[in-house]
């Protein structure tokens, strides 16, 4: 063999190949261990997205809680200085941890979090369906139904664009 040739069995692309999935992916415990990611949303009572976060599928929901709450923009209130945080926050049992409740208390937000093993999910369903509907709106954008982008910044930009389009729909509806 000539010295300038590749060795038999080696392919040029195999040397620079990245692992599948990209940043903020993890083994999904509900989908046979496939790599995936989760979207975390905070929405207002109408379903308008206020804050967005992406984590790996193997991360617990409560891990992204603090950064997501801190990402909520200022909420306009009475004339004068706008309220910095919402008055109360509804969450499901996945966020029932002392750390999450204390974080809300420090921010002056009333916690309405269902307790694990105590409360049924029926009462929370009155508020939870709004978040699920917003997730369905995001899934309506076909490219976002399943994450195909390897780069997190591209996927995050597409999610933010979809959230902006959802907000635009509300502006068109009420103006």
| Residues 73-94, mean pLDDT to the nearest whole number | 76
Domain parsing of the chain, residue ranges: 22-75+122-174
| Residues 99-114, mean pLDDT to the nearest whole number | 90
Q: What is the mean pLDDT of the chain?
A: 78
| Residues 78-87, mean pLDDT to the nearest whole number | 72
The CB-based long-range contact list for 56-62 (8 Å cut-off, 24+ gap) reads 56/24, 56/25, 56/26, 57/25, 57/26, 57/27, 57/28, 57/29, 57/31, 58/26, 58/27, 58/28, 58/29, 59/26, 60/94, 61/94, 61/95, 62/94, 62/95, 62/97, 62/99, 62/100
Least-confidence region, from 6-15, 88-97, 105-114, 161-170: 6-15
């Amino acid at each position: 063999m000539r010295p300038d040739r590749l060795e038999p069995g080696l392919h040029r692309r195999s040397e620079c190949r990245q692992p599948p999935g990209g940043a903020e992916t993890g083994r999904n415990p509900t989908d046979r261990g496939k790599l995936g990611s989760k979207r975390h949303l905070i929405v207002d009572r109408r379903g308008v997205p206020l804050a967005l976060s992406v984590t790996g599928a193997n991360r617990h929901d409560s891990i992204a809680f603090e950064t997501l709450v801190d990402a909520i923009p200022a909420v306009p209130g009475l004339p004068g200085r706008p309220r910095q945080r919402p008055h109360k926050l509804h969450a499901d049992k996945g966020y029932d941890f002392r750390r999450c409740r204390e974080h809300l208390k420090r921010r002056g937000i009333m916690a309405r979090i269902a307790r694990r093993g105590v409360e049924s999910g029926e009462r929370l369903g009155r508020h939870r369906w709004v978040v699920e509907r917003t997730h369905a709106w995001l899934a309506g954008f076909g490219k976002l139904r399943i994450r195909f982008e390897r780069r997190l910044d591209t996927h995050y930009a597409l999610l933010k664009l979809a959230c902006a389009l959802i907000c635009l729909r509300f502006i068109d509806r009420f103006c």
